[in-house]
Every structure is written in C-alpha cells, then in structure tokens.
Chains A and B, each alone.
Chain A
Amino acid sequence: MGERRIGPVEVLAAVLLAGLLLRGHEIFQAPIVQTWAAVFVSIVLQALPFLTLGVALSAAIAVFVSRDLLVRVLPRRPVLAVPAAAAAGVVLPGCECGSVPVAGALLRKGIAPSVALTFLLAAPAVNPVVLVATAVAFPGQPGMVLGRAAASLLASTVMGWLWLRRGRTEWIRMPEHDHAHGFLSRARHDFLHAGGSLVLGAMVAATLNVLVPGRWLQIVADEPWLAVVAMAGLAVLLSICSEADAFVAASFTQFSTTAKLAFLVVGPMVDMKLFAMQAGMFGRGFAIRFAPATLVVATASAVAVGVLL
C-alpha cells in the first residue's frame, strides 16, 4: 500500500515525451527511413477503414445474429457447407483485414471451423470490389478475372475440406471473451487486437518493401517455376490489400500470367499482416499450421487454373 508503481499511463507518457523530444532528429530525414515510414503509414491508413468496419460487422454478428439463423442458411452437411461458405464470400466487400474478425465472430457463434475458415480465405478474393479492380487492372484480359475467382474459390474450398479431414479444433485458441458482451466492448477488443497485429505486419511489409531490390525480380522472372514461387512469396511479403494487388500484379510485366495469378490468389489468403492477425485472433499454434498449408494450396490452385488460361 502506498507503493508507487510504473503503470501503463506512465509508460505512455514517457513514450510520448520521448517522441516529442526526438521530433525532427536527422535520422528521421534519411530517405530510407522516410520511405519506410510512408509505406508503413500508408498500409495502416489504407487498412484502417476496412478494419474498423470489419470489427463493427463482426461485433454486430456476435451480438445481433443468432446462431440458429446462420445454421439454417448453411447446408447441413459440412462437405457441402464448405463450398457454400466460399461462395458466400462474394457478399463481404472489403479486403482481408476485415474478414479476420468476421471469421472470428462466426467461430465464436459455433459455426464449424471448416466453414468459417473457408469464408475467411474466400471473402477477400472473390468479392465484387476486388474482381472489378482486377478487371480494370487487366483490360482486355477477362481470363484474369475468371481465373482469379476460380482459383480462389478452389483454394478456399480445398482448404475447408482439408480442415474437415485433418484439422483439429484444439489448434484454435481464441482470445478470452467472457468479459466483453456489449457491441462496443467487443468491437473495441477486436480492434485493439487485430489493429496491433496489422501494425506488426505493416512494419514487416514496409521493411521488405524498402530492402528487397526490385532488380532481383528480373532475374527470377525468366525461370517459369521460379517465377511462380517468387510471385507467391512476394505476395506474402508485400502484404498488399486485395483491392490493390491486381494493379501491382499488372505492373510486373516481365512475369508470366500464371505467376501473376499466383500473386493474386496467394496475397488475400496468406501474407505477413494476415499471419500476424490470424496468430492474434486464433492463436499462434493455428497460424503456424494454417498459413503454410494455405500457401501451398493457393499456389497449386493458381498453377492449375493458370495452365488452362
């Protein structure tokens, strides 16, 4: 009693004071630091609306939608519910940052993990906003839009079925939620959680964006298989929002169509910020298993569809 401890508010005050004192220091004028900060801030700002609306939607599902309703609209047999969930991804217009909390809300409602996870993977890639952006980025190439939708639905359905056969519910460790019941409390909890993960992912993505020389890409573009692997890897590292990734893919003119498709299919399903957000939402044990499996399935789906294009 009477002992003064350094609490969160004191830490916060110290951080802010240090920030004010260091402001304008010459290290912050270095081009690499400024470029890093611009890319980092831009990823956060771009994702912020989708994240805030996503957590609001997920809180609304959690508080206002009954489990019975969700169960009634989905096919009873899990094998059929998985593709239905993939197709339902069409209705969530947003990028991947919004779909993580929504999938979390579905799980908490008691929806089967295979169904919720399929929705998580499909929604950011097959919604109308993203498909229209893809059509704009690849004018005169409707195959790219169809290919993206087909390969994304395929990959998310395969992942759902894979979970049915191999997945274990105990891999998923949802954060405790017993003390958050109201709409706003839930929304804030999810926002602090997913927002923190988003920041972590954006920091990694900005670092790679600044450090990986664009010249390296030219070297791998000439090898067909290497090109697919490189574009899939790049999608993971760059963590670009699914509404924008088509334009970035189109700018990699030296890469094959299949390699670009791999970029478009992998990006919305696995990337640095998503991995951080999934680890935050569903636990690290889950993310470590789920993300690599998704990467392999998504890349394979893109190659399978890309061969047909």
Chain B
Amino acid sequence: MNRAAAVVILLLLAGATARVWVTGQYVSYVKAGLWPLLVISVVLIVLFATAKGHQPRAGWLLLVPVLALVLVSPPSLGSYAANNAGTVLKQADEYPPLPDGDPVEVKVFDYASRAVFDGGRTLRGRRIKLVGFTATGPNGEPLLVRMILTCCAADGRPVKIALRNAEPLPDDTWIEIVGSYVDSAIEDGVNGEKIPFVDVESTVEIAQPERPYE
C-alpha cells in the first residue's frame, strides 16, 4: 500500500465513523454513551493519517467496515437476530408498584421480569404501554420484541413478549401497544425460558425509536 492509499483509507474510516456519530446512527450498533470515545477515535485516526512511514498491507481491510456502512447501512438488530437467540429474563430484588399513568409505559424487559418472576402481581389491573418490533414466535404466534444491548450489537439479546388478540403485521414493524397482563406464558424453543403474554387492546405502528435498544 502506498502512502496516498493509506491516507485515503484512514480518512474514509474516520469519515464513516464521524458520520454514524453525527447522524445518530451509531446507537444502532453500540451504546449511546460511547460517543465521546468515538470522537476521540476519529481525531486520532485523522492524526495517524498525517504521519509518514511504512504502510502495512493489512490496512486494506479497514475498507470493509466503510463499505459495510455505505453498501448495507445496516439497521439495528431485528427479528432475524431475535429468532436466533433465547429471550433474556433477569430477576430483580424487588418489584415496586408501577408509576402512575393510564396507560403506564413499561419497559419490555421490566414487563417480562415482573410477569415471570413475580406472577404479574404489580401488572394486574393496569393498562400497560409497550414499545418494540414484531417477530414471529416458536409456534407462529405474534411477538413483540425489544433487543437489549450491553456493549455492542454483538451481544444484543432479545426480550420477547407474546401478543394475544393482536392484528397480524409483517416482522420488524415497530409498534406501540396498549394492553393488559394475562396469566399465561409459552416456552422459547431456543433456551427454554418463558415468554409471557400480554392481551392487546390497541396497536399503533410507529417509527423506530431514537434508541432502538433497551
């Protein structure tokens, strides 16, 4: 690789990284809190581009992420990733009553945890609003899914909730539903964990939220 090619590749990489930061697209891939570090990376890569010296050929590979962003511009993880991984459940130490509001917005993760580990005690008698995308469950039942991210999309894991009385929608449609707790669950064939139900009262199609992951 000669110097000109190395400079162009480094600047393309810095540019692609800066672009996903400025457009906010980066939250589809990594945690929102990573942005200051991304900015530091961009500055350092531009600095590296100004240096002189030997250019290893391995540097060509840095074009691949640039091309992936330009060619595919992948959206956040959707039903394909959700179907391939088991639903995530985590027991909390305690389940305080839900905040006021009718309907009250509950995180998909929180709903599943309250439904499975607390028998839905704090969910009963409340109208609940959930936001997620659609997917198809183990036996063809419609699901509402939200991916949770710890660090980056490589560790993205789904939280699945089965929808009762929902109108059929194509997979990967972002929806906001209002519904109520029902005492029923199915098993996720991937990891044997429980997928709780929600009885749907109304469904609204929405644009993908600014933060696609919970």
In the complex, which residue of chain A has the Cβ closest to the Cβ of B157? Answer: A251
Q: Enumerate chain B residues within 8 angstroms of A240, measured Cβ to Cβ.
A: 151, 154-155
Among A56, A191, A200, A209, the most chain B Cβ lie within 10 Å of the Cβ of: A191
Tell me, in angstroms, the Cα distance from A38 to B55 when the chains sit together: 29
Known: A49-B37, A53-B40. A188 touches B80 (CB 8 A): no
Task: Kindly identify, within residues 162 to 203 of chain B, every residue whose CB is under 8 Å from any CB belonging to chain A.
Answer: 172, 189-193
B80 → A minimal CB distance (Å): 4
Question: Across the interface, do A199 and B44 meet the contact criterion of CB distance under 8 Å?
Answer: no
Tally of B interface residues using CB under 8 Å: 77
With a CB–CB cut-off of 8 A, which chain A residues contact B80? 31-32, 34-35, 210
B72 lies within 8 A of A34 (CB):
yes
Q: Contact at A209–B72, with CB atoms within 8 Å?
A: no
Asked whether, in the complex, the Cβ of A35 is within 8 Å of the Cβ of B77, the reply is: yes
**Residues 68-110 of chain B, each 1 if its beta carbon lies under 8 Å from chain A, else 0:** 1111101111111100111011100100000000000000000
* B75 CB contact (under 8 Å) in A11, A38, A179, A248: A38
- Interface presence of B26 (CB below 8 A): yes
Pairwise interchain contact A184-B34, C-beta atoms closer than 8 A:
no
Contacts of B192 in A (CB 8 A): 218, 254
A171-189 near B? 1/0 per residue, CB < 8 Å: 0000110011010111111
* Interfacial residues of chain A within 88-137, with CB under 8 A of chain B in the complex: 137
A284 touches B (CB below 8 Å): no
Whether B113 is near chain A, meaning CB under 8 Å from some CB there, is: no
- Is A192 located at the chain interface by the 8 A CB criterion? yes
Contact indicator A23/B155 (Cβ below 8 Å): no
For residue A48, CB closer than 8 A to chain B, the reply is yes
B contact residues around A191 at 8 Å (CB): 45, 48
A155 to chain B, nearest CB (A): 23
Is B29 engaged at the interface, CB distance under 8 Å to the other chain?
yes
Contact B150 A179 (CB under 8 A): no
B51's partner among A48, A182, A239 (CB-CB below 8 A) is A182
Question: Secondary structure at chain B's binding surface: helix, strand, loop or mixed?
Answer: helix
Asked if A199 and B53 sit within 8 Å, CB to CB, the answer is no
How many Å lie between the Cα of A37 and that of B67 in the bound state? 10
- Are A185 and B53 in contact, CB atoms less than 8 angstroms apart? yes
For A184, the closest partner residue in chain B by CB is B51
Task: Assess the A9–B2 pair: CB atoms within 8 A.
Answer: yes
Q: Would you list which residues of chain A between 7 and 25 have a CB under 8 Å from chain B? A: 7-9, 11-12, 15-16, 19-20, 22-23, 25
Inter-chain contact A45/B26, CB cutoff 8 Å: yes
Counted as pairs of residues, one from A and one from B, with CB atoms less than 8 Å apart, the total is 232
Give bound CA distance, A197 to B12, whole Å: 18
- Chain A residues, CB < 8 A from B32: none
Asked, given contacts A52-B40, A193-B59, A210-B84, whether A45 binds B154 with beta carbons under 8 Å apart, the answer is no
In the complex, how many residues of chain A place their beta carbon closer than 8 angstroms to a beta carbon of chain B? 81
With A40-B68, A188-B49 as contacts: A35 and B78 at CB distance below 8 Å: yes
Interface residue B204 (Cβ < 8 Å from any Cβ of A): no
Mark interface residues in A225-259 (1 if CB within 8 Å of B CB, else 0).
00000000000001111011101101101100000
The answer to whether A45 touches B20, judged by C-beta atoms less than 8 angstroms apart, is: yes
Q: Is A203 an interface residue (CB 8 A)?
A: yes
| Residues of B with C-beta under 8 A to A283 | none
8 Å CB contact of A196 from B37, B56, B154, B157? B56
CA distance A187 to B192 in the complex (A): 48
List of B residues within 8 angstroms of A186 by Cβ: 53
Chain A residues near B123 (CB-CB < 8 A): none
- B51 / chain A contacts, CB cutoff of 8 Å: 182, 184-185, 187-188
- Chain B residues contacting A192 (CB-CB under 8 Å) are 1, 6, 10, 55-56, 58-59, 62
- Measured in the bound complex, the distance between the Cα atoms of B60 and A239 in whole Å is 21
Does any Cβ of B come within 8 Å of A160's Cβ? no
**Selected contact of A243 from candidates B40, B75, B79, B151, CB within 8 Å:** B151
Excluding A22-B71, A41-B69, 7 further A-B contacts by CB distance (< 8 Å) are A7-B5, A37-B74, A39-B77, A40-B64, A189-B53, A189-B54, A217-B190
A residues touching B (Cβ–Cβ < 8 Å)?
7-9, 11-12, 15-16, 19-20, 22-23, 25, 28, 31-35, 37-46, 48-49, 51-53, 56, 137, 139-140, 175-176, 179-180, 182, 184-189, 191-193, 195-197, 199-200, 202-203, 205-206, 209-210, 213-215, 217-218, 238-241, 243-245, 247-248, 250-251, 253-254, 280
Q: What is the interface of chain B, defined by CB distance below 8 A to chain A? A: 1-2, 4-6, 8-10, 12-13, 17, 20, 26, 28-30, 34, 37-38, 40-41, 44-45, 47-65, 67-72, 74-81, 84-86, 88-90, 93, 150-157, 172, 189-193
